[in-house]
Structure 1
Amino acid sequence: MEICGGQTHSIVRHGIDRMLPAGVTLLHGPGCPVCVTPAGVVDAAIAIAGRRGVTFCSFGDMLRVPGEGGSLLGAKARGADIRIVYSPLDALAIARKEPQRAVVFFAIGFETTAPATAMAVLQAERERLENFYLLVPHVLVPPAIEAILGDPDSGVQGFLAAGHVCTVMGYTEYEPIAKRYHVPIVVTGFEPVDLLQGLYLCIRQLEAGEAAVENQYSRAVRREGNRAAQEAVARVFTVQAQRWGGIGEIAASGLGLASRYQRYDALTRFTDGVVPTECAGECIAGELLRGRKKPCDCPAFGTRCTPEHPLGATMVSFEGVCAAYFRYRRTEASSRNDAGDGDATSHGNERPT
């Protein structure tokens, strides 16, 4: 299983999974921060953005993610002041420029983006900005790996860990997981050659009966990671249980603002502090993110669920597995069927690889 959605897109785009020998199957894990943001958090974001005097700042791909009550894009169309930013520092600049507005940044992401969020909070504290807030659904990778391995239906025998996450956090947290579950974990980059080498290292361990953490992405990742970034995250946030979209709550898998920085919490400031509950929908994101199914197993894929009309975040996000299959596998399947090769089954119905 590759963890990162960026790795998934590289695998599907370049057909790496189709090049592998029989007996090697790639499963796509919960490594897209947009995809694992719960619909209830999206509903909270919509509620906050709709309040008078609030400017809501978000990365662009979150605007189309559906909650139970629509999307941020729909709220923007109804008049909410919602702005696309490229970093939390952009939101901080808006708060500095428009002190009469309450500026809320939607702080999604894994350990990769948490340091930038932490730095924005520390800068707001230094400048004594009173109008800057965060909606924080940051999540952590190692607890998600353990949740997958603890699933009795999981068939995962090895992991390709996300190189950018490990650039920040290092990989010491993965070492006890590899030992406890006897599963090799290879820190891997994102180019096709990175992924192929990561697969080779993982399979070499499996064939030797070994289970350790290896670092394929040594040009960017050190075992100890980026200590300065880790210190900033530890200062601003505290580890807590977190709900994952389609998966549910995972213990110690999220980051919440530490007590010293609670004044920046938008959920407490603008709502009752409770994330709305979610209703079960047609989207099978939970099965996809656990590696139990692939997009072509969903009856709505490519028909009722498309990038223009998504049923779930896995079709919205650029790193979403459904978006990858829709972009790179749907047309291939259609071409084969149009050519009359006799196989008119579901999209992307390649042999197990």
Structure 2
Amino acid sequence: MIERIWSGDSGLWRLLLPLSWLYGLISSLLRLCYRLGWRKAWRAPVPVVVVGNLTAGGNGKTPVAIWLVQALQQRGLRPGVVSRGYGGKAKVYPLVLDSTTTTGEAGDEPVLIYQRTGAAVAVSPKRKEAVQALLAKGDIDIIITDDGLQHYALARDFEIVVVDGQRRFGNGWWLPAGPMRERASRLKSVDAVITNGGQAQDNEIAMRLMPGQAINLRTGEAQPLSALANVVAMAGIGHPPRFFSTLRQHGVAPVKEVPFADHQDYSEAQLTALTGKDQILLMTEKDAVKAKRFAAANWWYLPVDAELPPEQEKALLNRILALKSHS
């Protein structure tokens, strides 16, 4: 229902307009306070790059953050990652992740980034505290914030916005009548716009999510996606249809598609019940970090990687690398 409202297919968005006006007023005033210096943003001693979005969930932001961390690591830098840690409830903040940190403590996306990149990752509702915790524990050259475009309390040196190239901005209204955290005009002030799928517009960088091999949650065995048959697909991400579409585009026709809410936690019984005899349960990597501790032998996940055009990728990375030389 929410997708139909946000896309404009349902007229119910009009009933939510008063709440959207209030949301827009509050968010605009907050940003204005920082622009005018009435509220002070804290500036880290190293460059800060924000990877965020203008809409609520499901744009491909975290794969872009992973791509950026790995690209910087390949160039000899030591990036650290900070996040709100949505969905996690740590006993103490800031929380610096290690191999024992659970998604219940840190949230699914920070754990996913930590496991994929090996970079230092910290979570806290106050990004300043997360940055300080990382800097106190070791040498960090640059900070990447996974989300946080609207967290103006942390000064930033470079802003990347990830846009869903198919859904774009829906009906264009602020939450909850539409999907917008900020209006589309905000794109004029950011440093780069990466468009996930669909058609990239002028001055946007086209990006696509490329699946790798399917990986068994229990054993770590890797198999080509095409080798899997009798598949039940599940996805607890911001936009589950994208995952199901990716499977079909690469030759997998699931016998059943099961969408879950973004950041949803799972139980063993809940996921076990999804498959019958001789069926495979195939999930996203974001789901896998929550389900691995109780995984069954027939559970697999599909990692995806952000892929940018080589020339645009090189140009974007050069701009970000230049931040380090000027710090």
Shared fold (TM-score, shorter chain, > 0.5):
no
Higher strand share: 2
Larger RCO, structures 1/2 (Cα 8 Å, 6+ apart): 1
Higher helix share: 1
